[in-house]
C-alpha cells in the first residue's frame, strides 16, 4: 500500500468504505427527498426522521450509475467532468501543472508527483457545491480560494495543529483540507466540499456580524452533516456525557483555539458542531424555511444590522431568536438514543422513502 494514503484514488476508497461496515437496513438518509428551497416546511414527519435519519445525499456521487451533471448547454461539470477513472478529461477551464490544479475560482495544491486525477474529484465537488449554494441560499463565493491537500495525516496535523475530527483549516482565502484520499476513505469528501464552500462564503460575505452558531450551523446544514454528527455523539451518550448545550457554549467552543487535550477537543468540537446544526435545522424547518434564512444572510451581507434584520424577518431580535433555538429546549429531532447509520452505503435495492 502507498506510504501516502492521501494519494489513493478517492473514488475507489470511497466505494470500499461505503460497501463495508453495517448491513443494509430499510431506512436510509438518501431516501428522503432532496431539499427544495421553496418548501414546504417542515419537510419531514417525526416518523420519517426516526426511520431514515437526517437527509444525506452526499454519497450518491460514488454509487453505481452516477454520471457527471450537465449545465443548460449540455456541458459536463463537477465530479466526473475532470477525470474518467485516473485519466484526465479535456476541459478548457482546467489548468494542470505539477502539484497544482486550477478550475474556476479554485486552485488545489497537492503532492507534485501524484497523478492529478487522484485529487481532482475534490475540485469537481467544490464546483458542484458552489452551484448548490447559489441555488439554495442565493450566495456566491468570493473570487478565489486556494486549497491545499497535504501528503498525509501527519503533514495535515503538523501544518494546521488540528486533529482529524476537524475536516479543514480555513484562514481567509486559503484552506488546508485533510488529504483528499483520507476524506474519501472516511466518506466525508462531499460533506467537506459543501461545508468548506459555505463557510468560506459566509466568512467573507457576513464576517463576524452573525454568531458562530449560525455560520457553522448553516455550513453543516448545507453540507447535510446531520447523520454523521449524530453518529459522533454515540460515544458521548455511552459515556453519560452531556450532548446538548447552550448557544453561548457552542459559540465559545467555535471561537476558541483547539484544546490541548485531543480527546477533550474532539468531544467539544463535535458537540458544538452538532448543537449548531440542530439550531439551524430548527430555524429552517420551523421558523420560515430556506427563503427566510437566505434573506437574513443577504440582508446582513448588504449591510443591514443583524438585530434589525432578525426583527424584520423573524419577529424578534437576534438574542431572542438565538435563545428560542437553544438545543436544550428544542430537543433532538432524532431523539437521544445511541444511533449509528451508514449513509455511505447505498440503500437496499428497491427501498423507497415510505419504507
Mean pLDDT of all residues in 230-243: 96
Model confidence over 75-85: pLDDT tens digits? 999 999 999 88
pTM more than 0.95: no
Residue 49 CA, distance from chain mean position: 19
CB 45 within 8 A of CB 220: no
- Match 460497501 to its residue by C-alpha cell: 19
Mean pLDDT of 293-297: 98
Per residue in 163-173, pLDDT (tens digit) is 999 999 999 99
Residue recorded with cell 475507489:
12
Residue 46 CA to residue 104 CA, distance in Å, equals 41
146-184 pLDDT, tens digit per residue, is 999 999 999 999 999 999 999 999 999 999 999 999 999
Mean pLDDT over 327-346 rounds to 94
pLDDT at 146: 98
Tens digits of per-residue pLDDT, 105-117? 999 999 988 899 9
pLDDT digits (tens, 9 = 90+) for 12-28: 444 444 444 443 345 89
What average pLDDT does the chain have? 91
Other beta carbons within 10 angstroms of residue 314's beta carbon come to 19
Whole-angstrom distance between the N-terminal and C-terminal Cα of the chain? Answer: 40
- DSSP track, 225-256: -HHHHHHHTHHHHHTT------HHHHHHHHHS
Residue 12's pLDDT is what? 47
| pLDDT computed for residue 232 by the predictor | 96
Q: How far apart are CA 284 and CA 278, in angstroms?
A: 10
Amino acid at each position: 500500500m502507498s506510504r501516502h494514503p492521501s494519494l489513493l484514488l478517492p473514488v475507489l476508497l470511497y466505494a470500499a468504505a461505503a460497501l463495508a461496515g453495517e448491513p443494509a437496513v430499510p431506512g436510509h438518509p438518501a431516501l428522503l427527498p432532496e431539499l427544495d428551497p421553496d418548501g414546504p416546511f417542515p419537510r419531514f414527519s417525526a416518523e420519517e426522521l426516526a426511520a431514515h435519519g437526517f437527509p444525506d445525499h452526499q454519497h450518491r456521487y460514488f454509487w453505481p450509475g452516477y454520471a457527471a451533471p450537465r449545465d443548460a448547454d449540455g456541458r459536463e461539470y463537477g465530479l466526473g467532468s475532470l477525470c474518467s477513472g485516473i485519466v484526465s478529461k479535456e476541459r478548457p477551464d482546467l489548468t494542470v501543472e505539477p502539484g497544482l490544479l486550477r478550475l474556476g475560482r479554485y486552485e488545489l495544491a497537492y503532492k507534485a508527483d501524484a497523478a492529478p486525477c487522484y485529487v481532482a474529484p475534490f475540485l469537481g465537488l467544490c464546483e458542484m457545491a458552489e452551484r448548490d449554494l447559489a441555488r439554495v441560499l442565493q450566495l456566491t463565493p468570493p473570487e478565489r480560494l486556494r486549497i491545499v491537500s497535504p501528503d498525509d495525516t501527519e503533514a495535515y496535523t503538523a501544518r494546521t495543529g488540528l486533529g482529524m475530527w476537524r475536516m479543514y483549516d480555513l484562514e481567509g482565502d486559503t484552506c488546508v483540507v485533510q488529504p483528499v484520499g483520507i476524506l474519501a476513505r472516511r466518506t466525508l469528501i462531499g460533506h467537506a466540499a459543501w461545508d468548506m464552500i459555505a463557510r468560506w462564503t459566509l466568512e467573507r460575505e457576513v464576517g463576524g456580524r452573525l454568531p458562530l452558531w449560525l455560520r457553522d450551523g448553516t455550513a453543516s446544514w448545507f453540507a447535510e452533516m446531520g447523520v454523521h454528527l449524530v453518529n459522533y455523539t454515540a460515544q458521548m451518550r455511552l459515556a453519560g456525557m452531556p450532548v446538548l448545550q447552550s448557544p453561548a457554549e457552542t459559540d465559545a467552543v467555535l471561537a476558541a483555539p483547539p484544546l490541548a487535550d485531543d480527546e477533550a477537543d474532539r468531544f467539544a468540537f463535535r458537540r458544538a458542531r452538532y448543537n449548531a446544526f440542530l439550531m439551524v435545522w430548527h430555524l429552517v424547518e420551523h421558523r420560515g424555511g430556506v427563503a427566510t434564512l437566505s434573506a437574513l444572510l443577504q440582508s446582513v451581507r448588504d449591510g443591514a444590522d443583524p438585530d434589525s434584520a432578525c426583527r424584520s424577518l423573524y419577529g424578534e431580535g437576534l438574542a431572542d431568536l438565538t435563545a428560542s433555538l437553544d438545543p436544550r429546549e428544542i430537543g433532538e429531532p432524532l431523539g437521544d438514543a445511541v444511533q449509528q447509520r451508514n449513509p455511505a452505503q447505498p440503500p437496499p435495492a428497491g427501498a423507497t422513502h415510505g419504507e
